[in-house]
Each structure stands twice: as C-alpha cells, then as structure tokens.
C-alpha cells in the first residue's frame, strides 16, 4: 500500500516544524485500499473486461479488503499508520447485475471493482466480517485511533 509513500511525496511541500510552531495542529491523512482474492492483490480494474472477471470471481465466493491509513502531524512531525482487513462473502452474482454495474462504470473506479454498498450488490452480500466503512475505503475506528495517537 502506498499511504506512507503518498505522505512522503506530499510532506516536503507543506510547512512543518518551526515554520508552523504557533499554528494549530495540521494533519495530513492518506489512505489506500486493495482487494485480495485467492492471495492476489487487486487494485482498480484496468478495463471493463477485468472488472467483469473480478465480479465473476467473487460470485458465490469470498474476497477481502485491506485498507491502510497513515496520519502525519505536521506541527510535531509525529506519524502513525496501520491497516484493517475485512472479509466479504457473496451469494451468486447474476450476469445481469454484473453487466449493469459495468455499464454504470462505478466499479471501474474502486479497488478490485468491489462496491458492496451499491443497491444491486447489497442484497447479494452473504456476510461481512469487519466494518462496512472499512470496505468503503476509510476505516473509522482505525482512523480515530490514529488521530488520537498523533495529537
């Protein structure tokens, strides 16, 4: 995951330390997510065909999301990061649903083509082991914990 790399690329362009010693704390929050299916990391689908294959793979099976969050306190220089994993189990996903999702295009813009909150997919979710907010890309409890640690 690239969250610490994202922060490293952004930090040099932001005033820190003595430059903002009288300022309120300023926090840089970066986050990223991948989907893991049968041990293979999946990022955003590169094509409609790849998105279609991803969803066919999930049909009747299981995938996991791994989300990472990295927070930098620009005033103190303190940095904290961690990750969260959620397992998602699916009922069969009909081909018509897959085609509608691809036609809409949203699945092309998310890790692994996985968007469990979509009204067409939601009824096809058998079980989620973890939190929905984490599957959607920003685990709230993890982010809150890291915020407290850097302040």
Which of the residues are catalytic? Answer: 32
Q: Which of 128, 16, 29, 42 is nearest to 82 (CA)?
A: 29
* Cα–Cα dist 93/23, whole Å: 52
Residue 56 has, within 13 A of its CA and on its CB side, a CA count of: 10
Q: For residues 42 and 119, is the Cβ–Cβ distance under 8 A?
A: no
* Cα–Cα dist 106/136, whole Å: 13
Q: Which of 2, 142, 1 is nearest to 66 (CA)?
A: 1
């Amino acid at each position: 995951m690239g969250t610490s790399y994202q922060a490293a690329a952004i930090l040099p362009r932001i005033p820190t330390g003595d430059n903002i010693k009288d300022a309120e704390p300023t926090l840089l929050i970066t986050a990223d997510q991948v989907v893991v299916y049968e041990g293979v990391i999946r990022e955003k689908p590169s094509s409609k065909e790849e998105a279609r294959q991803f969803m066919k793979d999930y049909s009747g099976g299981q995938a996991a999301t791994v989300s990472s969050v990295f927070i930098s306190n620009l005033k103190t220089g303190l940095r904290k990061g961690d990750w969260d994993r959620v397992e998602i189990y699916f009922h069969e996903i009909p081909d018509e649903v897959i085609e509608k999702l691809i036609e809409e295009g949203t699945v092309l813009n998310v890790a692994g083509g996985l968007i469990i909150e979509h009204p067409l997919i939601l009824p096809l979710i058998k079980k989620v082991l973890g939190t929905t907010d984490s599957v959607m890309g920003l685990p709230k409890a993890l982010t809150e914990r890291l915020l407290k640690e850097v302040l």
